[in-house]
Amino acid sequence: MDQEALVADAQTLTRSLDETMVKPKGVMLARSSETGESKLWVVPSSNIDKREFYGLVAQAISAEDLNALDVGMVELVDMARADRMGFKQLIRAPGISRIHLKSNWVNGISLPEGILIRMNL
């Protein structure tokens, strides 16, 4: 998978979701060290039903004609899980970013390699 295209699609999806009730507070393109697969973790601004979340994601991906990213790559991360993962202590990047991370430890929790698109928790 072309990483540049994946990051560009993740940024576009984030902008598109800003116009919905999702309004992502956190978005990270995380890469599994075990499988090499990428997941796009999305922390919505408020609680949202999973079905509604994935429906909005699918609509945005279709409307924006994204090719590198599909719904199966997107993972809903609730605020409680984001807190346990230490995202609040990690970094603050409220806009659309491209911040590369390599195997970081935050509060004893190992975060995977990845690219922060937004972190505004």
Read off the pLDDT of residues 63-91 as tens digits, 9 standing for 90 and up. 999 999 999 999 999 888 777 777 777 67
What are the boundaries of each domain within the chain?
A: 3-119
> Are 68 and 8 within 8 A, CB to CB?
yes
Burial letters 10-41, b for 16+ CB under 10 A, else e = bbbbbebbeebebebbbbbbbbeeeeeebbbb
Residue 106 has pLDDT above 70, yes or no: no
Which residues are paired to 30 by β-bridges? 39, 114
Q: What is the pLDDT of residue 110?
A: 67
Residue 109 has pLDDT above 90, yes or no: no
For the record, the structure tokens of 77 come out as 């991360």
> Are 39 and 14 within 8 A, CB to CB?
no
Span 14-29, pLDDT tens digits: 999 999 999 999 999 9
67, amino acid identity: N
Statement: the pTM of the whole predicted model exceeds 0.85: yes
**CATH no., domain 3-119:** 3.30.70
